[in-house]
Structure 1
Amino acid sequence: MRHDDIWRAIDTLAAEHGLSPSGLARKAGLDPTSFNMSKRRTADGRLRWPSTESLAKIFAATGAGIEEFTALVTGARAMPELRKGRTWIPLIGMAQAGAEGFFDDGGYPAGAGWDEVEMPATADVNAYALSISGDSMEPVYREGDTIIVSPAAPVRVGDRVVARTTEGAVMAKQLVRRTATRIELASMNPAYPELRFGAGEILWMHRIIWASQ
């Protein structure tokens, strides 16, 4: 969980309620400057994080829950993709996902090999869940975490995505560049190099909208 992700989630939460960051702070009973850009780093450049008390107050003021906020932190660009309540979503392990028979040509869940897991409800009827394996996305996603993936969600640069290559590899990455001819994906773990593909080498790419932590 990165400093920028937390503050981006707060900014998005404010925008979802028609507020500026200052307006959100005021609505939560905080000093109106609490979420200003100048308050996100100290004078000597060190990162400043919002307090748990501040987060609790903005949750109370907006009606947002921790699951919705976590979705924003982990890559969602808007809150409506997660609905109140829970539902059963198809689940497989990331290691299984590259095998044939789990997805159709459009990247939608297919076949009978899926388990089911009770997860936060989503507006996308084709959403599915994957269990993370490996350490390429640490510290954001760790082995054993479960992510919800939405084929219907628009994908933008900066989003965390699940992508499948023409060779059958399925991976959770961050989209760092996308042109008509090239797609570049990065791991959160700096030990792993950035991956570059021709646009035709990626069969499909879906956005991660929620993750268990």
Structure 2
Amino acid sequence: MLTHRTIWEALDTLAERHGLSVSGLAKLAGLDATAFNPSKRISKDGRERWPSTESIAKVLEATNESFDSMMASIVPYSQTSTPARMGGATVPLLGFAQAGSGGYFDASGFPVGQGWDEVRLPDLGDGTSYALEVTGESMQPLYRDGDVLIVSPSAPLRRGDRVVARTHDGEVMAKILYRRTEKRVELHSINPDHAPRIFAPEELDWIARILWASQ
């Protein structure tokens, strides 16, 4: 469900992804610099103020983003954007640390070999999906140690999608797909303390879309 909190969090994250403050984002869109300030989100009498549809449209045009890509960085929204079937499904499970080792994936990012565990999670209707368990704190604030991500190597990729990528050197990372062309793949960090990463396509083994995350 789209809430007052998620829409403002999405605008905040969009600004960070483009290296801007919320004031800078507003100015880029041709709006008053204070339009998105925290003080403007709640009225003096305590009522919630929402950004106007016109303001959001101007922001999306200025940043060359879609509404879906803007919202894709907010976990609660993304969890409901792909319907989960009741009853759940058993999917292969692997830790991020193990995923960097050889023998667990084929050339397209599908799980193979021994050493996989199993976990029962919501059924997203994707028969190729598997689960990766987050270790460490490098993916905060969206993903924390112990969170489980459902990943699909067959789901189509779009700009703004949260993805897992594996390099030829065995590095496995959860990122935001910012740009993908024939000559380069630009991945932005979920954690604002980490700089974007740019790869030549041949440097990556595979990229798979994150469909769902436990919280």
Which range, TM-score by smaller chain? 0.5 to 0.7
- Deviation of 1:151 after TM superposition, in Å, equals 1.5
Rate the CA distance shift 1:71–1:87 in 2: closer, same or farther, 3 A. farther
Rate the CA distance shift 1:200–1:77 in 2: closer, same or farther, 3 A. farther
Rate the CA distance shift 1:4–1:193 in 2: closer, same or farther, 3 A. farther
Counterpart in the other structure of 1:202 = 204
| Structure 1: stretches of 5+ with no match in the other structure | 11-41, 50-69
Q: For the residues of structure 2 that align with 1:89 and 1:105, how far apart are their CA atoms?
A: 20
Counterpart in the other structure of 2:148 = 146
Deviations 1:112-168 (A, max 9, x none): 210001100121111000001122221100111111001121111111101111212
Q: For the residues of structure 2 that align with 1:140 and 1:179, how far apart are their CA atoms?
A: 26
Kept in 1: contact 2:178–2:187 (CA 8 A) = yes
TM-score (ref. length: structure 1): 0.65
| Structure 2: stretches of 5+ with no match in the other structure | 11-33, 43-72
Q: Give runs of aligned pairs for residues 112-127 of structure 1, distance below 5 A.
A: 112-127=114-129
Supply the AA of the counterpart residue of 2:201.
A
Q: For the residues of structure 1 that align with 2:149 and 2:5, how far apart are their CA atoms?
A: 17
Q: Deviating runs (4+, > 4 A) in structure 1?
A: 74-78
Q: Secondary structure at the match of 1:104?
A: coil
Q: Considering only aligned residues, what root-mean-square deviation do their CA atoms show, in Å? A: 3.1
Q: Secondary structure at the match of 1:208?
A: strand
Matched, 1:133 2:135: yes
Q: Give runs of aligned pairs for residues 172-187 of structure 1, distance below 5 A.
A: 172-187=174-189
Supply the AA of the counterpart residue of 1:79.
T
Supply the AA of the counterpart residue of 1:45.
N
Supply the AA of the counterpart residue of 2:155.
A
Share of identical aligned residues, percent? 48
Q: Secondary structure at the match of 1:118?
A: strand
TM-score (ref. length: structure 2): 0.65
